[in-house]
A and B are shown apart, each in its own frame.
Chain A
Amino acid sequence: MADWYTNFANSGFGTTVTKQLGLPRPGVLRRYEPGGPLLEGPAVVGSAGQGRLRDTVTAVLKDAGVAVVSPVAADGDAAGEKFGAVVLDATGVTGPADLAAAHAFLAPAVKRLRANGRVVILTDPPSAADSPAQAAARQAVDGLTRSIGKELRDGSTANALYVPEGAESAVAGPLTFFLSGRSAYVDGQGVTLSAADVPAAQDAAKPLAGKVVVVTGAARGIGASIADVMARDGAHVVAVDIPAAGDSLAAVANRIGGTALQLDITAADAPQRLVEHLRERHGGVDVIVHNAGITRDKLLVNMDAARWNSVMAVNLQAQLDITQALLDGDVLNPGARVVCVSSQSGIAGNRGQTNYAASKAGVIGMVRAWAPAFAERGATINAVAPGFIVTEMTAKMPFGTREVGARLNSLQQGGLPVDVAETIAWLAQPTSAGVNGQTVRVCGQSLLGA
C-alpha cells in the first residue's frame, strides 16, 4: 500500500538510482496485522541512571513474546543480530552527566537496529523535576529522541514516553503501541502519561470487544478507515455522517457490521439527537471519535464570514457541543474515551487555512482543558494531529505540491488513513487509561510545526 515513489525507491533499479542521486529513500512501513508479532526481532533494554521502569519494560516485551537481550549485546557490531527495538529507561537521570550512559547504550544499539525498528525512551516529565539539573536532563531526552528520529532510516521510528511517579502501571499500553506496527507513522513524538486506574491486561486481538464506538465523518476517507479499524478491534461502530453522504455511510456500516446514523452534527438539535440515539439503541457509549471536518481555504484577507463560520462550526464547536451533551446526558460508559481529530495545521499553521488551523488548534486546547474532568470519572480525552495523509483530497493536489509535501518528514512519505485510525484506536483501548489530555501527531515527524 506504499505510494509509487516508495515502491520505485525499493525496486532493484530504483534502489540504484535513488542511492546514486542521493534521493529520498522511504522504507515500506511495517503496519499492524492482527496476529502478527509485536516486533520483527529481539529487543535490547538499557538504562541511564538508576531507573525504575526496566522491569516493567522487560515484562511488556516478554509478555508479547519478544526476546529481550542484554545491553552487552549492543556492541556496535553491524554484522551481529539485528534488533527489532531499542528501549532506554532514563527515569533515573538526575543531571546531564547521567546522559553519557544514554549515549553509551544507544549508539552501539541503534547501529544494530533493523528496518522498521523502534527506539523508545522513557523518562519523567521535566516539569516534575527536583532540580534544574534534573529538569535539564529530562528535557534533553526530547531533543535526543527527535534527533534519533531524524537519523533513522528504512521506516524506523523514535518516540518518548514521559512517566511521572505513580503512573508506572500506565506504561504497558503506550509502550506496546510505540513498539508495534500500529504506530508506523508516529515518529519523533513524546507522550506524557498520568496516574490512572489502568486494567492489567486487555484482549490483544480484540481490545475493543463489546465497546460502542461513535465515529463522525465516517462515510469516507480517514473516518471510514477509523470505522474499519475500530470494527476490526471488536467494536460496534455507530457511523455518523451528513445525510447527503448517507449512501457511502451505509456501505461503510454494512462492510463492518455497524450501524449508520445520518446526522448533520452542526444542527442545533444534533447533540441531543445523538445522545437519545445512543441511549435508546445502545444504552450508552464507550468511545466517540470527533473526526468530521471540513476545509474552506482562502487567504485571511479574502475570507468571508461563511467560510470562517462553517469551518468553526464543524471542526470545533460541534466537538465541544457533542462532548458536553454526552457528559450532560450521562451516556458515557465507565472508562469512556473521547478522541478528537486535530491537524498538523493546528500546530504549524498553514497559508490559506486561518480558519482551519484556528479550529484545529482549538481542539488541542479543548482536550488539554477537559482532561482533568475526564480523569475524575476514569475517562480520557485526547487528540490526534494528522500530518500529510494520502487521501482522495491529497490525490487532487498538483503533482509537485503533493510529492514535496509527502517527503517533508523523517519517514520521507505520506501516511495512510489507517495510520491515523490505528493511533485513534490505540487511544480508545482500555490500557490507554493513562494517556489523557495529549495531542499525538501522526505525521512521520513532519518538518512542519516540529
Chain B
Amino acid sequence: MADTAKPRRTAAIVGGNRIPFARSNSAYAQASNQDMLTATLDGLVARFGLQGEQVGEVVAGAVLKHSRDFNLTRESVLGSTLAATTPAYDVQQACGTGLEAAVLVANKIALGQIESGIAGGVDTTSDAPLAVGDDLRRVLISLNNARTMGDRLKALAKIRPGQLVPDMPRNSEPRTGLAMGDHQAITAEEWGIGREEQDELAARSHHNMAAAYDRGFFDDLVTPFLGLARDNNLRPDSTAEKLAKLKPVFGRGEGATMTAGNSTPLTDGASAVLLASDEWAAAKGLPVLAHLVDAQTAAVDYVHGGEGLLMAPAYAMPVMLARNGLTLQDFDFYEIHEAFASTVLSTLKAWEDPAFCKDKLGLDAPLGSIDRSKLNVNGSSLAAGHPFAATGGRIVASLAKMLHEAGPGKRGLISICAAGGQGVVAILES
C-alpha cells in the first residue's frame, strides 16, 4: 500500500434499501425521481430506526433529471423521515453515480469528516424530462425578458412550428451519436464475444436472482413500492434456448449478437446504502456487513483513442489491485455490472489477454481469469434491470450482505462501466 504509515479508518456498510426496479413505463410510470428516492430513504430509515436522525450527509444522484430536480437529494431528504437538518448533495457520473456516491460518503467517513452517511441513486426513464429545442428556448427567454407588449409580440412572432418538437433524452453518446449498445456491439465483435455465451450469462443472471428472492435474500434489501414487490424485469423461467430466439437489436449483419434479452432494458428505480464509522454503528446497535476498502475510477478515449466505450473498468482494476497488493483472484465474490452480457464477457476476456494487459494496461502478466461461480451469484442488472444511478447502490448493499453471510475476512470486487467512457471499481471486505 502507498501509505502504510498509519492504519486508515474505512467506512462500514451497515445495510441498504431499494425499491423493486420496474421496466420503463410500467409500475412507476407516474413516479418522479423525487418520489422514488424519498420512498427508498424512508424504507432505509424504517429498517434501521433512523426516524428524526441527522446523518452526516446524504449523497445521491440521477442521470436523467428534470430542471426541477436541481436539488434532488436534499429535497428528497426533506420529504423523508430523516431529520430536516441532514445535509445532502447531488452527484452524477452516469451509470457510475451510485457507486461513486458510496465512495464519496465512505471517503468522508474515512477522513473523520462525518460519522454516518447515506449514498444513493435514482432514475426514471418513464417520467423523463423533455426539453424544448435551443431555438425555442432562446425565443422563450427573450419573451421573458421583454418589457413591453410590443417586444413580447415580436418575440412570440419568432416561434416556428418546427421548434415545437421537444428534445427527447437519448441513450446515446453526444460525441459519437451512437447508442451505447452500438458502441458495445463494436467492442463485442473486437473481442469475439459469441451469442451463446451472452445468452447463457443472461439466463444465469435471471436464475440467480430468482433463487435469491425465493430464499429471502432480498427481504432486508428491498421495500415494495407502488404495488411492486419484486423487479418486474425478472424472468425466473428464462433459458439460454429461449433467449437464443430473439433478434439482435445492436450491431449489424451476421455478426450481430446483442439482443433485448442479453442487454439491460430501460428501467425505473432507486437505491440507498447506509455507511458509517464502526463506532457509530456500534453505538446504534447496528450491524457492520462489510467495509468499503478502496475504489478507483478510470476513463478511456473511445472517441479518438480506439478503445471501447465501456472498457474503462478494465483499466481501473489493475491500479486498484496494485495499490492494495491483491491479485484478481483474491476475491470471494465478483459483482460486474451487466450493462450488456457482452460487457461483462469482454472485460473478463481483456483481463485474461496477455497482449491487452501488456500493451494497454502496461502489465508484465495478464490479470488472469476468475472463478465464474463467484460472479454475480445473486443476479445482476440483466435480471433486475438498470435504473442508471440506482445500480451502484443495489450492488454495494447486496455484496456487503453476501460478504457478511460468508463470514469475516471475505473480499468482494465491484466493477461498473459508465457512459462517457468511464468506469468505477471498488473493493469491499467483511
- Chain A residues within CB distance 8 Å of chain B: 236, 239, 243-247, 249-251, 253-254, 257-264, 267, 269, 273, 280-283
B49-A258 in contact (CB<8A):
yes
Candidates B47, B224, B287; contact of A259 at CB < 8 Å:
B47
A247-B51 in contact (CB<8A):
no
B43-A247 in contact (CB<8A):
yes
Q: Mark each residue of chain B from 28 to 72: 1 if its CB lies under 8 Å from any CB of chain A, else 0.
A: 000000000001001101111101100000000000000000000
In the bound assembly, the distance between CA atoms of A261 and B43 in angstroms comes to: 11
Q: Mark each residue of chain B from 216 to 249: 1 if its CB lies under 8 Å from any CB of chain A, else 0.
A: 1011101111000100000000000000000000
Q: What is the distance, in angstroms, from B285's C-beta to the closest C-beta of chain A?
A: 5
A250-B219 in contact (CB<8A):
no
> What are 18 A-B pairs with beta-carbon distances under 8 A?
A243-B222, A244-B229, A246-B224, A247-B39, A250-B45, A250-B47, A250-B223, A251-B42, A253-B51, A254-B51, A254-B81, A257-B49, A258-B49, A259-B48, A261-B47, A262-B219, A267-B216, A280-B287
Candidates A236, A262, A282; contact of B223 at CB < 8 Å:
A262
Interface centre among A253, A258, A261 (most CB of B within 10 A): A253
B46-A250 in contact (CB<8A):
yes
Taking A247-B223, A258-B46 as known contacts, 10 extra A-B pairs with beta carbons closer than 8 A to each other, sorted by chain A number, are A246-B223, A246-B224, A250-B47, A254-B42, A257-B51, A261-B220, A262-B223, A263-B219, A282-B285, A283-B285
B222-A246 in contact (CB<8A):
yes
Chain B residues within 8 Å of A260, by CB: 43, 46-47, 223
Asked if B355 is at the interface (CB within 8 A of a chain A CB), the reply is no
Chain B residues within 8 Å of A267, by CB: 216
In the bound assembly, the distance between CA atoms of A239 and B286 in angstroms comes to: 16
Nearest CB in chain B to that of A249: its residue: B46
Interface size class of B (residues with CB under 8 A): 20 to 34
In the bound assembly, the distance between CA atoms of A239 and B48 in angstroms comes to: 12
Candidates A236, A269, A283; contact of B216 at CB < 8 Å:
A269
In the bound assembly, the distance between CA atoms of A432 and B49 in angstroms comes to: 28
In the bound assembly, the distance between CA atoms of A370 and B45 in angstroms comes to: 37
Nearest CB in chain B to that of A243: its residue: B219
Chain A residues within 8 Å of B43, by CB: 246-247, 250, 260
In the bound assembly, the distance between CA atoms of A251 and B225 in angstroms comes to: 12
Nearest CB in chain B to that of A254: its residue: B81
Nearest CB in chain A to that of B51: its residue: A257
Nearest CB in chain A to that of B17: its residue: A250
Q: Mark each residue of chain B from 71 to 85: 1 if its CB lies under 8 Å from any CB of chain A, else 0.
A: 000000000010000
Report if A246-B51 is in contact (Cβ < 8 Å); known contacts: A262-B219, A282-B285: no
B285-A259 in contact (CB<8A):
no
Report if A244-B47 is in contact (Cβ < 8 Å); known contacts: A262-B219, A263-B219, A264-B216: no
Chain A residues within 8 Å of B46, by CB: 239, 249-251, 253-254, 258-260
Nearest CB in chain A to that of B226: its residue: A247
Q: What is the distance, in angstroms, from B388's C-beta to the closest C-beta of chain A?
A: 23
Chain A residues within 8 Å of B220, by CB: 261-262
In the bound assembly, the distance between CA atoms of A255 and B215 in angstroms comes to: 29
Interface centre among B45, B224, B229, B287 (most CB of A within 10 A): B224
In the bound assembly, the distance between CA atoms of A273 and B215 in angstroms comes to: 12
Chain A residues within 8 Å of B49, by CB: 236, 253, 257-259
Chain A residues within 8 Å of B47, by CB: 250, 259-261
Tell me which residues from 279 to 304 in chain B have a Cβ below 8 Å from any Cβ of chain A: 285-287
Nearest CB in chain B to that of A257: its residue: B51
Q: What is the distance, in angstroms, from B51's C-beta to the closest C-beta of chain A?
A: 5
In the bound assembly, the distance between CA atoms of A273 and B46 in angstroms comes to: 18
In the bound assembly, the distance between CA atoms of A262 and B230 in angstroms comes to: 13
In the bound assembly, the distance between CA atoms of A239 and B46 in angstroms comes to: 9
Chain B residues within 8 Å of A243, by CB: 216, 218-219, 222, 224, 229
In the bound assembly, the distance between CA atoms of A283 and B45 in angstroms comes to: 20
The 9 A-B pairs of least Cβ separation, nearest first, read A250-B46, A260-B46, A253-B46, A244-B229, A259-B49, A246-B223, A254-B81, A247-B224, A262-B219
